[in-house]
Amino acid sequence: MSPVQLYDTTLRDGTQREGISLSVVDKLHIAQKLDELGIHFIEGGWPGSNPKDVEFFEKAKQLKLANSVLVAFGSTRRPQSKADKDANLIALAGAGVKVATIVGKSSERQVSQVLETTLDENLSMIADSIGYLKGRGLTVFFDAEHFFDGFKANAGYAQRVLEIAASTGADCLVLCDTNGGTLPSEITAAVRAAREVADVPLGIHAHNDSELAVANTLAAVGAGVSQVQGTINGYGERCGNANLCSIIPALKLKMGVDCVSDEQLAKLTEVAHYVSEVANLIPDSFLPYVGFSAFGHKAGLHVSGLAKWVNSYQHIDPSQIGNKARVLVSELSGKKNILYKAKELGLDLPPQGKEAQRLLEQVKLLESQGFQYDNAEASFELLLHRAKPDYKPPFELVDFMVVVEKRRRPPARKSLEEMLSEAVVKVRVGGEVMHTAAEGNGPVNALDQALRRALLQFYPSLAQVKLVDYKVRILEESVGTGSSVRVLIESSDGVNEWRTVGSSTNIIEASWLALVDSLEYWLLKQKNNR
pLDDT tens per residue, range 359-394: 666 666 776 666 767 667 888 888 888 877 788 888
In the predicted structure, residue 530 carries a pLDDT above the cut 60: no
Is the predicted pLDDT of residue 302 greater than 90, yes or no? no
CATH: 3.30.160, 3.30.750, 3.40.50, 1.20.58. Which one for 395-458? 3.30.160
The reported pLDDT for the residue numbered 310 is: 67
Supply the mean pLDDT for the chain. 87
Going by the DSSP 8-state scheme, the letter that residue 321 receives in this structure is: G
Q: Under 8 Å CB-to-CB from 37, ≥6 apart: which residues?
A: 248, 260, 264, 267, 268, 271
Widest pairwise Cα distance in the chain: 90
Give CA–CA dist 182/11, Å, rounded: 25
CB-based contact 511:524 (threshold 8 Å) = no
Exposed/middle/buried for residue 429 (C-beta within 10 Å: 0-12, 13-18, 19+)? middle
Does the global pTM surpass 0.85? no
pLDDT exceeds 90 at position 416: no
- Could you give phi then psi for residue 149, rounded to 5 degrees? -65, -40
Angle (nearest 5°) at CA 300 between 299 and 301: 90
**Could you read off the pLDDT of 174-208 as tens digits, one per residue?**
999 999 999 999 999 999 999 999 899 999 999 99
Pick the CATH number of 5-278 from 2.40.30.10, 3.40.190.10, 3.40.50.410, 3.20.20.70: 3.20.20.70
Architecture of the structural domain at 369-387+464-530: 2-Layer Sandwich (3.30)
Q: How many CB atoms lie within 10 A of CB 78?
A: 17
Query: What percent of the chain clears pLDDT 70, i.e. is strictly above it?
Result: 83
* Gap between the terminal Cα atoms of the chain: 49
Topology alike, domains 5-278 and 369-387+464-530: no
